[in-house]
Structure 1
Amino acid sequence: MAGVITGCGSKKNDSNVAKNSGDTFTVGFDAEFPPYGYKDDSGEYVGFDLDLAAEVCSRNGWTLVKQPIEWESKDMELNSGMIDCIWNGFTMDGREKEYTWSTAYVDNSQVVVVKKNSGITKLSDLAGKNVIVQSDSSALAAFTGEDADEENIRLAASFKSLQQVGDYNSAFLNLDAGSADAVCMDIGVAKYEVESRGDTFTILNEHVSSEEYGVGFKKGNTQLRNQVQETLEEMLADGSFDSIVQKWGLEESACLGQPGTDSVMKAEDTVKEKTGFLDNMLDILRQLLSGMLASLGIFVLTLIFSLPLGLVITFIRRSKLKVLNWIARIYISIMRGTPLMLQLLVVFFGPYYLFGMSLSNSYRFYAVIIGFSLNYAAYFAEIYRSGIEAVPKGQYEAAAVLGYSRTQTFVRIIFPQMVKIVLPPVTNEVITLVKDTSLAFALAYTEMFTLAKQIAAAQTSIMPLFVAGLFYYIFNFVVAYGMEKLENKMKY
């Protein structure tokens, strides 16, 4: 709170800023969006849009800074001044009032990519199918946005599901594994992806929608926009724009300077309509409700399966059989030594790539629960082991003298003492689990934080993220309070 207040107190009126020679020009882009912006084999960020930006910087004496961004966070990056513009195949359609735009320079369309042997040949064949789009993308807006055509809305309603992923590589992994039937995306990106992935996929002839790309600046920053726009027009006049277009094979899409491409720029309105705070808050809560339930489901089911599984792994880890002992050691080492997100991807895509098993969309949720349970069971197993080994050996010896069996000794003497010892570290893991539920988006499973990012991107507001953060805090506060009460009850 102190940081926010300090930032607000020192904030300058920088909504309309020009650049001088020698300044940096920071371009925000999605680094997984070829051919407009991506990382090549040499590790360099390249692309059509980045080449245009480099030429603009060269002519103005600016230093180009290529800044990869999380696409859902693009508005916060722009409004906070971390980037100067969004230049990455950025669709103007449906966003006309949210940014200060350049003229359109690419005329793009949304198309559908499917497997060649899928039997899907036209858009109507997508009825009852699982379709994937990138979150906060033009394809998503074409099906669910406020300006979506009635025909596309009806088409989306016929889908079995409309899933969202963070990047197109994940989308094609789902398509390849059979957990999705089609991917809807920009035609330029679709052509690049299909050509680079061999003879496996094809693009349907019918287009979902048409759109135009522009360079998006912070609302009201007309001075910087005008500088960039003038430079682009100079590049068009001397032929350098066309040279860059030809380099990237986008001759059919380039439209800079054509009639009508400046309509959004000429009609821009620097005043953005705002809704009341209370109405906006209620609307955010309503939209987040399904995500909250999804996060709660992951949390509860993970605990149900991982807590007892961790105890089983503890027994194996303490086994006198060396083979079992080492199996448990290796399992725990892998689960604790690799990212949870990677483990989720392995659980989900492993059956297809290892055994050729076709995946269903319903397996997505099961994979999330399996991945989380296997991961947290490893952590709980080590916590349990430390608790058991913390019980004095004299307890075992006294139980043996009194004639207790090994099972009776553990259940009636060791286990109750172990529970008292491990409650604090178990509480830490449970609290971490609440926050880790957001990683389910790696499998295109939409939980609360992912939904909050999508709403924040759609509203160009940080408020949904604050609401999500408040939910996590309250949830964790309740968990910590309950565990503290349990600890106090066990201090006998």
Structure 2
Amino acid sequence: MKKKIFALIALLACFVTILSGCQSSTSSESVAKQANTVDTWSHIKKRGRVIIGLDDTFVPMGFRKKNGDLVGYDIDLAKAVFKQYGIKVDFQPIDWNMKETELRNRTIDLIWNGYTITPARQKQIAFSRPYMANRQILVTKKKQNINSFAGMKDKTLGVQTSSSGASLLDEHPKMLKDYIKNQSPVMYDSFNNALMDLDANRIQGLLIDSVYAGYYIKHEKDPDSYQMTTGGFDGEDFAVGMRKGDKTMKRKIDNAFQNLSNNGQLKKINEKWFGTDDNSLVKPEK
């Protein structure tokens, strides 16, 4: 009889522990969800700095020079935006696969690194106005004689994990994915590693952002050895990602973009990194 009573007590204790864990988990999720609805501008203004999450290997948007200094188009643009509000910018390298989680957990305030607007991302976070046009292209070596997406038939394709290119590959398989070897790409943490594998012929093609590809190839020893193929994917826009509650942040960034365009600073930043202002989506007000 005692054994049965002890067993019953143990069973009840387990049930209470499980119930408590479920309530704790639900409570944590509720707190996280509520935190993402808070407008944090006044806190950031008081703190005097904003934390931006980025992939510090994404040339030319944000990357490391040989001496370790962080430079890039988005670095210059972010600094110019927050200078208008007297706020310093801290850049935090993150695992790009965890970018939305980092934002949701408030370890960063913004995702700003050639970040593409997509319907899936819009469900989770808010975006600034778009500031640059981009598209996904196929990069190959000319010696492979691959001049179209169909030319990748039974060949190995590389793509960055959690990139907009990876999403497009899955969303429109008939355009490219169905052609490649095993209908499955090789996934990379960074484009740098993927491009090294392309040069070594470990992969025969790379789906990559046109802004990255154009800058990288231009600065290679033999740029003529590369082939860039547009294919059929639609163009896309870069914007700044933020939590849903940060409505003031969005308004401040959007206004700053327009101010930089009106006073000519945005054009200077564009020409510094791309040699042209053609891809800019923010034009001076007339």
Distance 1:56 1:10 in 2: 31
Q: Specify the alignment match of 2:249 in structure 1.
A: 224
Q: Distance in 2 between matches of 1:97 and 1:13?
A: 16
Counterparts of 1:280-295 in structure 2, within 5 Å, are: none
The question of whether the paired residues in 2 share the 8 Å contact of 1:114 and 1:202 is answered with yes
Following superposition, the deviation at residue 227 of structure 1 comes to 1.6
Q: Does 1:189 align with 2:212?
A: yes
Instruction: Within 5 Å, give how 1:24-173 maps onto structure 2.
Output: 24-94=49-119, 95-145=121-171, 148=172, 152-160=173-181, 161-173=184-196
Where does the alignment leave 5 or more consecutive residues of structure 1 unmatched?
260-492
1:21, CA displacement in angstroms?
A: 5.6
Once the two structures are TM-superposed, the CA of residue 93 in structure 1 deviates from its matched residue by 2.4
Structure 1 pair 154/58, CA: closer, same or farther in 2 (3 Å)?
A: closer
Larger relative helix fraction: 1
More strand by share: 2
**SS of structure 2 residue aligned to 1:157:** coil
Identical columns (%):
25
- Residue 81 of structure 1, CA deviation: 0.8
Kindly report which structure 2 residues correspond to 1:382-401, keeping only aligned pairs within 5 A, or say none. Answer: none
Number of aligned positions between the proteins: 251
How far has the Cα of 1:208 moved from its partner?
A: 3.2
1:180 aligned partner: 203
| Equivalent pair of 1:92/1:213 in contact (CA under 8 Å) | yes
Amino acid at match of 1:256: V
Task: Identify the residue that residue 301 of structure 1 maps to in structure 2.
Answer: none
Amino acid at match of 1:139: G
Query: 1:129–1:181: 8 Å Cα contact kept in structure 2?
Result: yes
Between 1 and 2, higher relative CO (CA 8 Å, sep ≥ 6) is seen in 2
Partner of 1:287: none
Q: For the residues of structure 1 that align with 2:49 and 2:280, how far apart are their CA atoms?
A: 27
Summarize deviations over 1:106-130 as a string: whole Å, max 9, x none: 1111111101211111222112111
Give, in whole Å, the separation in 2 of the partners of 1:184 and 1:13. Answer: 36
CA offsets 1:53-106 (integer angstroms, 9 cap, x no match): 101121111111011111011111101111110000000023222211111111
Cα gap change, 1:196/1:204 in structure 2, threshold over 3 Å: closer, same or farther?
Answer: same
Q: Relative to 1, partners in 2 of residues 1:157 and 1:254: Cα closer, same or farther, differing over 3 Å?
A: same
Q: Does 1:16 align with 2:39?
A: yes
Q: CA RMSD in A?
A: 2.3
**Residue 22 of structure 1: CA displacement?**
5.3
Aligned residue runs from structure 1 range 260-409, under 5 A: none
What is the alpha-carbon distance in structure 2 between the residues aligned to residue 59 and residue 22 of structure 1?
Answer: 16
Query: Could you say which structure has the larger radius of gyration?
Result: 1
Structure 2 CA distance, aligned partners of 1:127 and 1:179?
Answer: 15
2:136–2:207 Cα contact (<8 Å) kept: yes
Tell me the residue number matched to 1:345: none
Label 1:159 to 1:22 Cα distance change in 2 as closer, same or farther (>3 A).
same
Number of the residue aligned with 2:227: 202
Which segments of 5 or more consecutive residues in structure 2 lack a partner in the other structure? Answer: 1-20
Greater shift in the superposed pair: 51-60 or 90-99: 90-99
Q: Is the 8 A contact 1:101 1:216 kept in 2?
A: yes
Q: Distance in 1 between matches of 2:283 and 2:247?
A: 19
